[in-house]
C-alpha cells in the first residue's frame, strides 16, 4: 500500500524572450517534472509557483500552462525573481507543491533543471547531463 506525502519539487529552465519559446520551455519543464515524479492526477497538485527574471516579459509562465491545458484546476502564481548581479538571465524557476506516493522511507522528489539552468543546481543535475 502506498501512502502520500507532501513535497516541494523544484526546477528551472532558460528560454528566449518569445511567447512560443517561453511556452515550450515551461511546458517541457512541467511535463518532465510530472513524469519524473509520477504525477498523473491533478488533484495531487496543491499549487505551482513560478519566478521569472526581469528579461522575460513576453508571457507569464502560468498563462503558458493554461494555454496548453495543463494544471487547469491548480492554483498558479508567478512572481519576479530578485534582480541579483551576476544571476543567470532568461530563467524561469518553479516550485510545485504536490502529494507524491511514498513507497519507502528514502523516497525523495526528483528536481529538474534543464539546459543552462543546470548551472543553478549542479548537485541536482548529475543524471541530466
Per-residue pLDDT tens for 13-35?
A: 999 999 999 999 999 999 999 99
CA distance 44 to 6: 9
Q: In the sheet where 91-102 sits, what is the strand order?
A: 76-80, 45-52, 91-102, 3-14, 112-114
User: What residue has cell string 495543463?
Assistant: 70
Structural domains of the chain sorted by starting position, each given as residue range(s) with its CATH number in brackets: 3-121 (3.30.1330.40)
Cα angle: 103, vertex 11, 49; to 5 degrees: 95
pLDDT of residue 65: 95
Under the banding of pLDDT at 50, 70 and 90, the label for residue 107 is: confident
4-13 average pLDDT score: 95
Cα separation, 43 vs 45, whole angstroms: 5
Amino acid at each position: 500500500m502506498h501512502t502520500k506525502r507532501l513535497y516541494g519539487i523544484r526546477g528551472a529552465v532558460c528560454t528566449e524572450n518569445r511567447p512560443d519559446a517561453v511556452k515550450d520551455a515551461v511546458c517541457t519543464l512541467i511535463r518532465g517534472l510530472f513524469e519524473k515524479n509520477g504525477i498523473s492526477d491533478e488533484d495531487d497538485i496543491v499549487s505551482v509557483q513560478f519566478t521569472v527574471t526581469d528579461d522575460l516579459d513576453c508571457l507569464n509562465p502560468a498563462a503558458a500552462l493554461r494555454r496548453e491545458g495543463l494544471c487547469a484546476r491548480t492554483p498558479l502564481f508567478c512572481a519576479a525573481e530578485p534582480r541579483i548581479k551576476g544571476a543567470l538571465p532568461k530563467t524561469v524557476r518553479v516550485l510545485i507543491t504536490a502529494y507524491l506516493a511514498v513507497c519507502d522511507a528514502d523516497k525523495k522528489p526528483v528536481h529538474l533543471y534543464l539546459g543552462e539552468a543546470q548551472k543553478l543546481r549542479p548537485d541536482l543535475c548529475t543524471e541530466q547531463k
